[in-house]
């Protein structure tokens, strides 16, 4: 397995926004529990600040952007940082597929929000696997 190649995950940074919180909770679950060896988190704020390490990470690895609203800041910043959005998720679109998980809350999500974040995390994890397979970075 190519240990150097990881999928970069850039979630929405919308503080005080329910869908932004869903995006971050999903990202945390992927990098901490589901694909800790295959994925790494890059904070959107670091890209906004032009952090060299963050820019390098998105430029050299496939990136998954998770957008909390139609402004699509995560996707835009990946592109503006020299990277390519390999997969984009919009929390609103994900919610439309899982209407039973109605997100509410900001600092702390309700049960629906946590379940939606989990469902999103599972989809992202599957995308991580596909992207690494495409990169030839996974064991046969």
User: Using CB under 8 A as the criterion, which residues of the chain lie in contact with other proteins when the complex forms?
Assistant: 17-19, 69-70, 92, 95-96, 99, 102
Shortest CB 69 distance to other proteins, Å: 6
Shortest CB 41 distance to other proteins, Å: 23
Shortest CB 70 distance to other proteins, Å: 6
Structure tokens of 50? 């032009």
Q: Identify the burial level of 120 via C-beta atoms within 10 angstroms of its C-beta, where 0-12 means exposed, 13-18 middle and 19 or more buried.
A: buried
Between residues 45 and 97, which has the closer beta carbon with respect to other proteins? 97
Q: Which residues contact 121 (CB under 8 A, 6 or more apart)?
A: 25, 26, 27, 29, 30, 33, 34
Between residues 63 and 94, which has the closer beta carbon with respect to other proteins? 94
Q: Determine phi and psi for 116, rounding to 5 degrees.
A: -65, -45
Angle, vertex CA 13, rays to CA 98 and CA 125, nearest 5: 45
Shortest CB 63 distance to other proteins, Å: 23
What sign for the dihedral angle of Cα 12, 87, 48, 37? positive
Between residues 18 and 81, which has the closer beta carbon with respect to other proteins? 18
Between residues 43 and 69, which has the closer beta carbon with respect to other proteins? 69
């Amino acid at each position: 397995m190519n240990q150097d190649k990881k999928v970069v995950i850039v979630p929405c940074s919308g503080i005080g926004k329910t869908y932004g919180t869903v995006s971050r909770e999903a990202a945390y679950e992927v990098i901490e529990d589901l694909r800790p060896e295959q994925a790494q988190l890059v904070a959107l704020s670091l890209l906004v600040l032009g952090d060299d390490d963050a820019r390098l990470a998105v430029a050299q690895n496939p990136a998954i952007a998770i957008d909390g609203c139609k402004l699509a800041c995560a996707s835009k910043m990946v592109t503006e940082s020299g990277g390519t959005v390999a997969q984009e998720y919009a929390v609103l679109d994900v919610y439309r597929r899982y209407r039973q998980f109605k997100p509410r809350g900001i600092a702390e999500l309700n049960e629906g929000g946590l379940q939606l974040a989990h469902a999103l995390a599972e989809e992202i994890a599957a995308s991580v696997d596909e992207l690494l397979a495409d990169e030839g970075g996974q064991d046969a």
